[in-house]
Structures are given as C-alpha cells and as structure tokens.
Amino acid sequence: MILVTGGAGFIGANFVLDWLARSDEAVINLDKLTYAGNLETLASLNGNAGHVFIQGDIGDSALVDRLLAENKPRAVVNFAAESHVDRSIHGPEDFVQTNVLGTFRLLESVRGYWGALPASEKQQFRFLHVSTDEVYGSLSATDPAFTEDNKYEPNSPYSASKAASDHLVRAWHHTYGLPVVTTNCSNNYGPFHFPEKLIPLMIVNALAGKPLPVYGDGMQVRDWLYVKDHCSAIRRVLEAGRLGETYNVGGWNEKPNIEIVNTVCALLDELQPRADGKKYSEQITYVTDRPGHDRRYAIDARKLERELGWKPAETFDTGIRKTVEWYLAHGDWVRNVQSGAYREWVEKQYDAAQAKVP
Ligand code: NAD
C-alpha cells in the first residue's frame, strides 16, 4: 500500500492510473479537490478496490495521522501542491499554505508514523517529494542545463514555495533521518492536463475558435516531458533512488513557447481542420508578458539515467501527437472541468491581457 497526495490532479492522477495498471499494490489517494483536482480523471477506477480516495488536506494533521496509522503505507508520494505560476502571482497565500505549511505538516505526520514503525518496515519506508525545475530559476540562452548541483534561485511565488518545500524535505532527512527522495521535473504535458496550462489551453481555445494567447515574444524556452515518462521516473526513484538525494527528470526537449503553439496548431490542422479552411495559427494573439517570467529552463537528467537507468519512452513529436489526439477524443472531460470557478479565472486573465473573451 502506498499513500499518494494530490492524486486527483494532472500528474498525480496519471501516476495513480499508471500505478494501478501495473501493480496490485493498493493506493490511498488523499486530495483536497481544489479547482485543479478532478475525480472524473479517476472514473475508470470506480469499483477498483485497489484505489481508495479520501478528500482532505495534507495540512490536516489529524486526518493524515489517522490515514497513516490505519493503512500502514510503505511509501508516501507527495504531488499535492498549488501548481499554477499565474495564480501564484495573483494570490500567493494559497501557495505558501499548501506548498510550505502543508508539506511541513505532512512531513511531521510522516515522521511520527515512520518513527513508530518496526525496524524492518522503517528501513523500507520512503517519502518521495515531487518538485519542479523552476526552483533553479532562469537560464540564459547559453547556460548549461540545470543539474542537481545548481543553486536554488526561485523567481515566482510558486517556485519559491516549492523551493521551500524541497528544503523542508531535505532538512527532515538530515535532521530526523526521514528516508526521503526528491524529484525535480521539467514541464509536463499529456492527458488530463487542466486547460489553464499552455498546451491544453492552446488545444481547447483553438478548437473553440478563441484567441491563442502567447506571452511576450513567445521565445521563453521550456523543457517538456510527457507525463507518463514523469510517472515512470517517479516509480524508478521510489524503487531505487538513494536516500536524501534529488533527481532531475527531463526529456531533453527544449522548445520556445511559440514553437509549441505552432506545433499544436499544425497537428490540429492535420487532425481536425478548421471548417473555414483557415489555419489555427491565425488565432495566435501576443499578450503582455507575465511579470518576472523566467526566460529559459532546461534540465540535465543524466544522474537519473546513469544511476537508475531511466529513459523517457516518448520523444516530443510522439508525445505531443498523443496529447492532441487525446484532447480531440475527450471533449467531455474538457467541458466538465471547465467549471464556473475555472471560467472566472480565465476571464480575469483575458481582462488582464486586455483581450476579449469571445
Ligand atoms: P495540479 O495542480 O494539476 O494538481 C495538484 C493536486 O493537488 C490537485 O488535485 C489538488 O486538488 C491537490 N491539492 C492542492 N492542495 C492540496 C492540499 N492542501 N491537500 C491535498 N491536496 C491538495 O498539479 P500537477 O501539475 O499535477 O503537479 C503535481 C506536482 O508536480 C506538484 O507538486 C508540482 O509542483 C509538481 N510538478 C509539476 C509539473 C508540471 O509541469 N505540471 C512539473 C514539475 C513538477
């Protein structure tokens, strides 16, 4: 049995679905169900006794203590977080609350549980903390990709709160001996991605005939990884990662945002052409850049490849095609996640960019 937190979000849900497709080991899934959590993503697990969903907060110590004591997991995988940079700029408090205080409380609960385990189980136990490459800050065009030795230089409230959580996890290992491993991954994309993030937003807006908002000059570079490759990396680190270590996870797919948007448009032109015969790229609209927007992230994942033999299964070309095809086949999922709260947020963003929501 493992305890997964944030398993109704994009990566956590993909992880739970993958885990249960590959193993009989049960998952307790603790998720607060914020706007980003979506049980519909997990609908295929209805009736699967190996999946127990609990709605709750990682910062609710009484609940987490009880879940740990009753279920005796051999590992905790912590995905739960506020994860959207733009939201962190407009409302940083939730980020500090969940990513910093929530992680602290979770670590304390886990420390109490782990400390009371019999010696053999204590030795096997793992706390895996899922984090981001954004903690390393921004690179210039010529800098080498981030390695695990780069210093932390977070620039947004989101990355600062994740950096704080990484430091807490590290300290709980060094101070209390908690058996932790941390992964720092590049930008993920793939099925079940909430349509506020770049790739799903572009697909959904393109199909709806709406503007495709691109920040600034669109030349911000991100390193992209197909979500299922992130899941396989987490499984591998959980299995064999060295305690107290951090592992960068990435797919060597550095791309400027505008290239991503053009690729999505070209795939849609091929797979579902516009009725009027025009190209989807005509919907691209440049909007005012985000404050403090990091210019470039690039991840060097050689440690994970060398030590644990992990390799991504997808190239960017195969992964992005699968992703666009998935969104074309799952219009219902997209419509259902676009709740009132989500719509309000999108409208606010458009207002800020002085573009009209059609
Ligand atoms: P997400 O926003 O899609 O999902 C987060 C999930 O956490 C949601 O289901 C939400 O309901 C839940 N949650 C939020 N606050 C909670 C709380 N206090 N208690 C319990 N559950 C809570 O995020 P994601 O994209 O799936 O990211 C998952 C993790 O991976 C995050 O820690 C993020 O920092 C990290 N990460 C994400 C990316 C990426 O590209 N998306 C890249 C690297 C690392």
C-alpha 356/C-alpha 348 separation (Å) is: 10
- Which of 10, 64, 189, when mutated, tests ligand 1's pocket best, judged by the most ligand atoms within 8 Å of its CB? 10
CATH of the domain at 82: 3.40.50.720
C-alpha 166/C-alpha 99 separation (Å) is: 9
Catalytic residues: 133-134, 158
In a domain, 332, yes or no: no
User: Can you give the pLDDT of all 358 residues of the chain as single tens digits?
Assistant: 999 999 999 999 999 999 999 999 999 999 999 989 999 999 999 999 999 999 999 999 999 999 999 999 999 999 999 999 989 999 999 999 999 999 999 999 999 999 999 999 999 999 999 999 999 999 998 999 999 999 999 999 999 999 999 999 999 999 999 999 999 999 999 999 988 889 999 999 999 999 999 999 999 999 999 999 999 999 999 999 999 999 999 999 999 999 999 999 999 999 999 999 999 999 999 998 888 788 899 999 999 999 999 999 999 999 999 999 999 999 999 988 886 555 555 555 545 443 333 2
C-alpha 154/C-alpha 267 separation (Å) is: 34
In a domain, 128, yes or no: yes
With a CB cutoff of 8 Å and minimum separation 6, the contacts of 121 are 72, 74
Query: 310 is in which domain, residue-wise?
Result: 2-190+226-250+296-315
Distance from Cα 9 to the centre of ligand 1, integer Å = 6
C-alpha 239/C-alpha 75 separation (Å) is: 10
Residues constituting the chain: 358
In a domain, 331, yes or no: no
In a domain, 45, yes or no: yes
Q: How many helices (H) and strands (E) does the chain have?
A: 14, 12
Token pair for 165: 């959580």
Three-class SS state of 336: helix
| Domain tally, the chain | 1
In a domain, 272, yes or no: no
Query: Ligand 1 atom 42: the closest Cα is on which residue?
Result: 187
Token pair for 60: 């609710």
Q: Is the CB of 80 under 6 A from ligand 1?
A: yes
In a domain, 58, yes or no: yes
In a domain, 203, yes or no: no
In a domain, 9, yes or no: yes
Q: Is the CB of 4 under 6 A from ligand 1?
A: no
C-alpha 227/C-alpha 249 separation (Å) is: 11
